[in-house]
């Protein structure tokens, strides 16, 4: 009897969901022309699969365009999937055509795929095709998160006249070189490899031997096929906690019998490889003249370069109107998790309070202004920067990033020579140390410091992103821990966090890692941001410079970013080590390529802190008087 009841309940649930899905399609068909699997031609003859949802009638309308490497097919396993249709329904209700397209070589799109959907001309050609349609008013806005955002900046630099405005969200995968950041689309941080792309490409790149539909296939055949054949591979699940430990790195996907593709070539590139400048990444020598509404997260993989990108456009766009029409939201969430904020938003283990924001209304207000010409609060009321301060748990606004009232306050590392672990004697103080009592630790790449939360995405089960208590991790002797005295008054830290470390070692090359932490009175230690520097690139990414045994070197870390209120009684802490794995790949300490090495050597690394070698961290503080 219980079994029959359960089956009936499941049947009722299925009917309810199915009816809901069909009702969304029915609603769309009442107000929209639905034209799926339009094969949009590019200049080289390759056709890109495109779904178009536009209001009925003859009135030309603006277009919201989303271009993606991901599967947006409306049917999965024979059932209607409504996520794209729900987005399209809202857009059509508001007077827009919604167009979603797969990059070349993805699913039903023809051609060969590259990680950034090159050539860039695909985006330009799509704009031209859409602008020439009789149902288009000639204005196109682009939107998307992560890999659906990454292509927007470089295509915007081509300055198509129909491309009226952007909303890039979590867009770091499209940022190549910005100032001192040479991340090349999140592939690197400080010259060290970010391992997220190993796991991401496993589940994204299409094997060149996979079945393909014949070129030139008719639209009506694609519409029929999409109901039962969506071209989506089914990748076997991988335990990436184990999988990412395989050496050499270049064989990780091969080791789990994954798809062949571009990973094995990309993993061999260095941070300034010419190939990074041939694809779809945006670099700071490119022009950018489009109004943009940028979305960033505190616990994303690319917060600092994303913020640097925003500042770069505000400072360098040629048109003053473009410089003045750059807006920014920074949310206290994980990668692309803006809309998941609740009245009690938990990021990892830490509650950051009510972090909700009406993203849908912000989006349409932006597009209404730039694509329809409607006057609204976008220009009159929206701050240039809206950012969320954790700890204080509130949204704040500013005209610039960092806020103009920030002051850089320098804290110096100090100890009596035993800062190893949180049980050691490492301190942070605004007083510059006089004597050098250096702290030494052993870095063994075969036993790296493991990642514990952090600012990451896309690593499967290997890392859970966000803020987690670091106390247990801080018992390791290969982590140097420096902690301030309890704060006598609360202080807000909002902006870029700079760190300078003085290192000596007995190996040719190693890494330095750093983490900024908010320590509560009960000892709970929540991570805010983290970074790394491969020491061979300490003088820049155009060359590799090796260390000499025992010589002291100045290493400037890639800046971190946060907005956090340290309450009275809290302490500021940093951790210094040489690994954060598998967030970043392991330096084998040999001076080799890293990607093809299977054996490392143990490094004896020493951090110096004295009048001559003042290792320090500089915090952007807003001090309330």
At 381 the pLDDT is: 85
pTM: 0.94
Please count the structural domains in the chain.
Answer: 2
Cα 53 versus chain centre, distance? 29
Name the token pair of 475.
């018992």
Higher pLDDT pick, 234 / 102: 102
Return the SS3 of 611: coil
Helix, strand, coil tally for the chain in percent (to 5): 25, 30, 45
Tell whether 87 is covered by a domain.
yes
Alpha helices in 278-319 (DSSP H): 303-316
Residue where a domain terminates, one of 148, 183, 214: 148
Instruction: Flag whether pLDDT at 379 surpasses 90.
Output: no
At 54 the pLDDT is: 97
Q: Which domain holds residue 587?
A: 407-622
Instruction: Flag whether pLDDT at 17 surpasses 50.
Output: no
Instruction: Flag whether pLDDT at 161 surpasses 50.
Output: yes
Instruction: Flag whether pLDDT at 92 surpasses 70.
Output: yes
- DSSP letter at 390? B
Confidence of residue 21 (pLDDT cuts 50, 70, 90): low
**Cα separation, 111 vs 46, whole angstroms:** 6
Mean pLDDT to the nearest integer, 83-89: 93
At 22 the pLDDT is: 60
Residue 38 is part of a domain; what is its CATH number?
3.40.50.1820
Mean pLDDT to the nearest integer, 300-314: 97
**Cα separation, 68 vs 181, whole angstroms:** 25
Contacts made by residues 543-549, CB under 8 angstroms, sequence distance 24+: 544/509, 544/591, 546/508, 546/509, 546/591, 547/504, 547/505, 547/507, 547/508, 547/509, 547/510, 549/505, 549/506, 549/507
Choose the weakest-confidence range: 7-16, 432-441, 500-509.
7-16
Tell whether 452 is covered by a domain.
yes
Residue where a domain terminates, one of 106, 125, 148: 148
How is 535-604 classified by DSSP, letter by letter? GGGTT-SSS-----TT--EEEEPPPEEEEEEE-TT-EEEEEEES--BTTBPPP-SSSS-STT------EE
**Cα separation, 102 vs 82, whole angstroms:** 17
Tell whether 342 is covered by a domain.
no
Q: Which residues contact 238 (CB under 8 A, 6 or more apart)?
A: 199, 202, 256, 258, 460
Name the token pair of 229.
């054949």
Confidence of residue 378 (pLDDT cuts 50, 70, 90): confident
- Strand 61-68 and strand 136-145: the pairing is parallel
Residue where a domain terminates, one of 89, 115, 148: 148
Tell whether 345 is covered by a domain.
no
Tell whether 191 is covered by a domain.
no
Tell whether 394 is covered by a domain.
no
Instruction: Flag whether pLDDT at 411 surpasses 80.
Output: yes
Mean pLDDT to the nearest integer, 504-511: 98
Tell whether 192 is covered by a domain.
no
Name the token pair of 62.
């603006």
Tell whether 174 is covered by a domain.
no
Could you give the percent of the chain with pLDDT greater than 70?
Answer: 95
Residue 426 is part of a domain; what is its CATH number?
2.60.120.260
512, with CB counted inside 10 A (0-12, 13-18, 19+), is buried
Instruction: Flag whether pLDDT at 10 surpasses 50.
Output: no
At 80 the pLDDT is: 78
């Amino acid at each position: 009897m219980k079994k029959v009841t359960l089956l009936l309940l499941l049947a009722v649930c299925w009917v309810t969901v199915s009816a809901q899905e069909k009702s969304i399609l029915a609603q769309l068909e009442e107000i929209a022309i639905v034209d799926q699997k339009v094969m949009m031609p590019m200049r080289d003859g390759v056709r890109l699969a495109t779904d178009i949802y536009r209001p009925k009638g003859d009135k030309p309308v603006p277009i919201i365009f989303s271009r993606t490497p991901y599967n947006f097919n409306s049917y999965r396993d024979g059932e209607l999937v409504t996520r794209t249709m729900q987005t399209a329904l809202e857009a059509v209700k508001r007077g827009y055509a919604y167009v979603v397209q797969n990059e070349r070589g993805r699913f039903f799109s023809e051609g060969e795929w590259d990680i950034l959907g090159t050539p860039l001309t695909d985006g330009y050609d799509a704009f031209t095709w859409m602008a020439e349609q009789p149902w288009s008013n000639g204005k196109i806005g682009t939107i998307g998160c992560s890999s659906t955002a990454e292509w927007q900046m470089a295509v915007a630099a081509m300055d198509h006249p129909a491309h009226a405005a952007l909303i890039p969200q979590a867009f770091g995968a499209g940022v190549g070189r910005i100032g001192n950041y040479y991340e090349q689309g999140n592939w690197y941080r400080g010259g060290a490899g970010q391992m997220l792309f190993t796991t991401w490409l496993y589940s994204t790149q299409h094997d060149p031997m996979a079945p393909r539909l014949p070129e030139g296939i008719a639209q009506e055949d694609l519409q029929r096929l999409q109901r039962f054949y969506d071209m989506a591979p089914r990748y076997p699940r991988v335990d990436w906690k184990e999988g990412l430990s395989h050496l050499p790195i270049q064989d990780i996907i091969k080791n789990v019998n994954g798809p062949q593709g571009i990973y094995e070539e990309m993993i061999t590139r260095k941070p300034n490889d010419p190939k990074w400048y041939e694809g779809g990444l945006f670099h700071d020598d490119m022009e950018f003249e489009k109004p943009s509404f940028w979305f960033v997260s505190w616990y994303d993989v690319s917060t600092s370069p994303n913020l640097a990108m925003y500042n770069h456009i505000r400072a360098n766009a040629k048109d003053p109107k473009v410089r003045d029409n750059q807006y920014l939201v920074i949310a206290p969430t994980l990668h692309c998790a803006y809309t998941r904020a609740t009245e009690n938003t938990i990021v990892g283990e830490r509650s950051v309070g009510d972090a909700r924001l009406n993203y849908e209304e912000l989006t349409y207000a932006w597009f209404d202004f730039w694509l329809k010409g409607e006057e609204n609060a976008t220009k009159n009321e929206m701050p240039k920067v809206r950012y969320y301060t954790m700890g204080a748990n509130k949204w704040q606004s500013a005209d610039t990033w960092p806020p103009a009232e920030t002051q850089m306050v320098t804290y110096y590392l100090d100890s009596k020579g035993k800062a190893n672990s949180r049980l050691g004697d490492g301190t942070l103080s605004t007083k510059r140390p006089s004597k050098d009592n250096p702290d030494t630790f052993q870095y063994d790449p075969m036993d790296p410091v493991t990642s514990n939360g952090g600012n990451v995405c896309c690593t499967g089960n290997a890392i859970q992103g966000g803020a987690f208590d670091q106390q247990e991790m801080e018992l390791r002797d290969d982590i140097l821990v420096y902690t301030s005295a309890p704060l006598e008054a609360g202080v807000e830290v909002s902006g870029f966090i700079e760190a300078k470390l003085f290192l000596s070692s007995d190996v040719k090359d190693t890494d330095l890692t750093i983490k900024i932490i908010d320590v509560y009175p009960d000892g709970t230690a929540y991570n805010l941001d983290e970074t790394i520097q491969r020491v061979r690139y300490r003088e820049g990414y155009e060359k590799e410079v090796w260390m000499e045994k025992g010589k002291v070197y100045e290493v400037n870390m890639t800046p971190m970013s946060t907005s956090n209120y340290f309450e009275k009684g809290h302490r500021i802490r940093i951790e210094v080590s040489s690994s954060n794995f598998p967030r970043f790949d392991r330096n084998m300490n040999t001076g080799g390529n890293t990607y093809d090495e299977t054996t490392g050597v143990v490094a004896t690394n020493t951090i110096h802190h004295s009048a001559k070698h003042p290792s320090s961290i500089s915090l952007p503080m807003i001090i309330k008087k």
